[in-house]
Amino acid sequence: MGIIHFRVDDRLIHGIVAGYWVNHLQATRIMIIDDESSQNEIVRTSLRMACPKSVNLSVLDTEKAIKNIQAGNYETQRVFVIVKSPDVLLKLSDAGIPVPEIYLGNITYTEGRLKVAKTVSLNQAEIETCESFIKRGTRLISQLIPKDNAEDFGVLLHNAKSRK
């Protein structure tokens, strides 16, 4: 089976991910792909504590994740990939890893970011990355929890840019 879901969420593992998405997806592994987190033992320990006990966890830098995925290391699992930024998924896609759809869950608003959805705000580089994915035919979805309506993120992005 391999990768079953890609989520952009700058909070990585938290209650919504652990309590709703893991169960909804029937994930057997959460794979955090984040260069900074993979090098920080305190963050890795916190992520292990937040991860449901029934689910395996990998916290990998981008290069290691690409190598492991390309090697087929997760083919027999149901892997839920979480990244902080869509830029990481672009690196996976550029490496030949299929990224057919991306769920944008949480990207926190800070000054200078464009608020695109209730819980998603993007900087200019992230906007360009999302637009690149749209041009490639990747489906972008805004959905905080599984029971929420899935919204077309491309439409939300277009509308947000029109309001600027």
CA gap 9, 106 in Å, rounded: 4
Q: For the chain, how many structural domains are there in total? A: 1
**pLDDT(164) > 80:** no
Give the pLDDT confidence score for residue 6 in this predicted structure.
Answer: 98
Instruction: Read off the CATH number of the domain in which 27 is found.
Output: 3.40.35.10
- Give exposure, 111-130, as e/b (b: 16+ Cβ within 10 Å): eebbebbebbbbeeebbebb
Domain with 146, as residue range(s), is: 2-163
Percent of the chain with pLDDT over 70: 99
Locate 93 and state its tokens.
């896609």
State the pLDDT at residue 163: 86
Question: Hey, is 91 helix, strand or coil?
Answer: helix
3-state SS record for 98-162? CCCEEEEEEECCCCCCEEEECCEEECHHHHHHHHHHHHHCCEEEECCCCCCCCEEHHHHHHHHHH
Give residue-wise pLDDT tens across range 18-40: 999 999 999 999 999 999 999 99
Flag whether pLDDT at 76 surpasses 80: yes
* C-alpha neighbours within 13 Å on the C-beta side of residue 21: 27
Write down the pLDDT at residue 122. 97
Label residue 4 exposed, middle or buried (CB < 10 Å: 0-12, 13-18, 19+): middle
Q: Which pLDDT belongs to residue 33? A: 98
**Cα dist. 158→84, 108, 140, 150, 163 in Å?**
22, 19, 12, 16, 9
Residue range 103-158, pLDDT digits in tens = 999 999 999 999 999 999 999 999 999 999 999 999 999 999 999 999 999 999 99
